[in-house]
């Protein structure tokens, strides 16, 4: 990657990091200001929901800041823009879209496909297919083994 591109990405990452830190500082400062007591439980619940949402967003941003720091470290050690999986170059367009990425588009696509396959729902059964449970499958197939051992008084 050209030095000019690295300088541009470094500036973008630094600006992005600073923006996230500013938002986090503003959130922490704002949390202490809302000491109002709401007599209505619904209003109080709404305030708490909003605070929880804000904290979840800030937690995601905290994780993003660590990814930004890692990307800056890769710029400094000369590995920024190289795929961690295959070692090939990550395209500049991909880095513009996601400056903290560590995988080229081919490796990321393969990773997503593997994840998709691993969590794919089981194949749907046709209604005429036999059930999976052994006892139900035996009855499905007409097996009555053991049925004659049930005492008459139990039936």
Distance in angstroms between the alpha carbons of the first and the last residue of the chain: 80
Cα(73)–Cα(68) distance, rounded to whole angstroms?
9
Cα(87)–Cα(10) distance, rounded to whole angstroms?
21
Pick the CATH number of 3-106 from 1.10.10.10, 3.40.630.10, 1.10.260.40, 1.20.120.910: 1.20.120.910
Residues pairing with 82 in the sheet: 89
The predicted-structure confidence for 9-66, as pLDDT tens digits, reads as follows: 999 999 999 999 998 888 776 666 556 677 788 888 888 888 888 889 889 999 999 9
**1, 80 Cβ separation under 8 angstroms:** yes
């Amino acid at each position: 990657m050209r030095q000019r591109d690295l300088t541009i990405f470094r500036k973008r990452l630094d600006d992005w990091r600073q923006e996230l830190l500013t938002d986090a500082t503003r959130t922490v400062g704002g949390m202490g200001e809302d000491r109002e007591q709401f007599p209505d439980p619904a209003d109080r619940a709404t305030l708490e929901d909003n605070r929880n949402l804000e904290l979840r967003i800030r937690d995601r941003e905290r994780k993003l800041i660590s990814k930004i720091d890692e990307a800056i470290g890769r710029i400094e050690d000369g590995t920024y823009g190289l795929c961690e999986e295959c070692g090939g170059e990550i395209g500049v367009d991909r880095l513009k879209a996601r400056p903290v990425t560590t995988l080229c588009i081919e490796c990321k696509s393969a990773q997503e496909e593997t994840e998709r396959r691993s969590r794919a729902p089981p194949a749907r059964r046709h209604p005429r297919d036999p059930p999976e449970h052994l006892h139900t499958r035996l009855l499905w197939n007409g097996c009555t083994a053991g049925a004659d051992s049930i005492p008459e008084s139990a039936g």
